[in-house]
Structure formats: C-alpha cells, structure tokens
Amino acid sequence: MSETKRCKELGDALHGWRDRLSPATVGMPTAGVRRAAGLRREELAQLASLSVDYITRLEQGRATSPSPQVLASLARALRLSDAERQHLYLLAGQPVPGPGQIPVHVPPGLRRLIDQLGGAPLSVHDAAWNLLEWNRPWAALFGDPSALRGRERNVVWRHFAGLFDRVRHTPQQESAFEAAMTGDLRAATARYPSDAGLRTLVRDLRQTFTAFADLWDSGIVGVHVSANKTVHHPEVGVLALDCDVLVAAGSDLRVVAHTAAPGSESADRLRLLDVIGIQAMPTAGPVA
C-alpha cells in the first residue's frame, strides 16, 4: 500500500470512529446545535490531549507516521475495541505494542464500569502511573486534567516535582506513598523491559529528584494499601476520603477509587460536587 493511500485510509478510519461516538458516552456536554451526532474534532482533541490542527491533518491524510504514544491516546479517546486498535496501528505503519511494553488499552468492560459508577471519583492509570481515564466526579474533585500533557499526567513525577495537589499527606502517609510508588515503578521495569518510555521516566526521576534517587537506590519496596486521603477542594472545603487502588486483572491497569463514609459530611460534599460540576485544573494538578 502506498504511503498516500495508507494515510487516507487512516484518516477515513479516524473520522468514522469519531462520528460514531456520541458526546454523552464520553461525558461531554451535548447542549447546543450539533450538525452530527458524533464527536467534534475539538472534543476528540481534548480527550486525546492533541491539538485540533493535528487531528485535522490526520483525518485529511496530511500527517504521516503518528507516534505510538499518539496512537495509544487516540485509541483510548475513541474507545476502540482490541481489533480496531490493532487496525489503527497497522494503518499508521506502527507495530502493535508487544508484551514487553506497558499496556495502555482500557478494555471496554472496565471503561463501562468507570462510566456507570458515577457516584465515586475514579481514575485509571497504567503500570507507570500515567493517568489514562477518569470519570466526571474525579474531575470535579481534583480538576479537569484534559489540558495536561506528558509528565504532567504522571502521578510519580507530579508528586516528586511538588506540583499543585489538593491531597494533603501526613509525613507517615507521604513516606508510605513514596515507597509504594517507587516499588511499583521498580516492578514495572522488570515486567516491561522493552518499554523505552518507562526507562526514560525512571532515568529522569533519578536525575531530577534526589528524594526519588535515594529511594530507588535503597532498594525500598512498598505496596498499595487502603489509605485515608484529605482533599482540600476550593469550593466545597475539606473531604476525608478512603483511597483504594485496584489492579484490573489481565490488563495491569490501576483503578483508583475515592469514597466517603455513608452519612458523613464528606459524602455530602461529594454529592455537592455533582452539582458544581467539573472545574478547570490549574497548570499543575492532582495525584492518585
């Protein structure tokens, strides 16, 4: 297949997948006049953290060789099936990610679970703790992360960089959190030895943050357990929440759930967030 024909077929496929996905399905507002039932290019760009111009060039067959990272973002945003995701990579001339690379594909069943459990703030992260998916309550609690790019979406990088965070840790909680995160990355490097992005992340963390380098070199290991989080929200105040990290079987994805005790003041404040809705996140945003 010629390069021109391949780019055209890729553009046609992206356009078709975008047209079939309704805004309501992905938590986008549906108010106003819409010429088509599917997503607008602007909405897909927001979901995939790409520019509208790049989406336009892809659909018009004018952008060649999109990177694996771009393809992974598009597959997630368009909610492609496994077969469609493989077809996307083939059309783009990229190998389908193998077993030595961190999986970033969110299975349809897990995505439906995130959509349907609307009462609790939920987020999905890959094995390197990059934020992949979130529901509306999570965005209302921590801020809308749609505009975040690259390392701004990585929980470990955000924490050691001291970026804006609505979660407050005690010294003991912070030590346990850092040990668990460092241990997670160490285990991930053993499971995914071919993942260049993971190797680069660990290298940059060690070179940039002395605290991470000291933890990594110490050989410390930690595990995620149920934890208490204190979240300071600018509109509803302080929320005392339970935070649980679940690993999705067969996908190595982390599902982080924040819940409040029934009948508590924090539960009332979570319900109030449903009324307030999603806020824009500052340049720096939340961690898990």
Task: List every span in the chain annotated with CATH 3.30.450.180.
Answer: 108-276
Task: List every span in the chain annotated with CATH 1.10.260.40.
Answer: 3-91
Q: Which residues have CB under 8 Å from 74's CB, separation 6+?
A: 14, 44, 48, 50, 66, 88
Alpha-carbon gap, residue 220 to 277, rounded angstroms = 40
Instruction: Give the range with max mean pLDDT: 139-148, 164-173, 235-244, 246-255.
Output: 235-244
Which of 21-35, 192-206, 216-230 is the least confident region?
A: 21-35
pLDDT at 198: 93
- Model confidence at 3: pLDDT above 90: no
pLDDT at 285: 42
Q: What percentage of the chain has pLDDT greater than the value 70?
A: 91
Domain 3-91 is of which CATH architecture? Orthogonal Bundle (1.10)
Task: Give the up-direction half-sphere exposure of residue 64: CA atoms within 13 A in the CB hemisphere.
Answer: 5
pLDDT at 287: 44
The predicted model gives 253-262 an average pLDDT of: 93
Alpha-carbon gap, residue 81 to 159, rounded angstroms = 33
Q: Greater confidence, 280 or 173?
A: 173
Q: What 8-state DSSP symbol labels residue 280?
A: B
- Model confidence at 188: pLDDT above 50: yes
Task: For 56-72, write each residue's pLDDT tens digit.
Answer: 999 998 887 888 888 98
Mean pLDDT of the chain, nearest integer: 85
Scanning the chain, the segments in alpha helix (DSSP H) are: 3-20, 41-48, 52-59, 68-78, 82-91, 108-116, 136-142, 155-161, 171-191, 196-208, 210-218, 265-276
Strand order through the sheet with 131-134: 131-134, 122-125, 253-259, 237-248, 227-233, 167-168
Which class is 108-276 in CATH? Answer: alpha beta
pLDDT at 211: 94
The predicted model gives 71-83 an average pLDDT of: 87
- Model confidence at 17: pLDDT above 80: yes
Question: Does residue 120 sit in helix, strand or coil?
Answer: coil
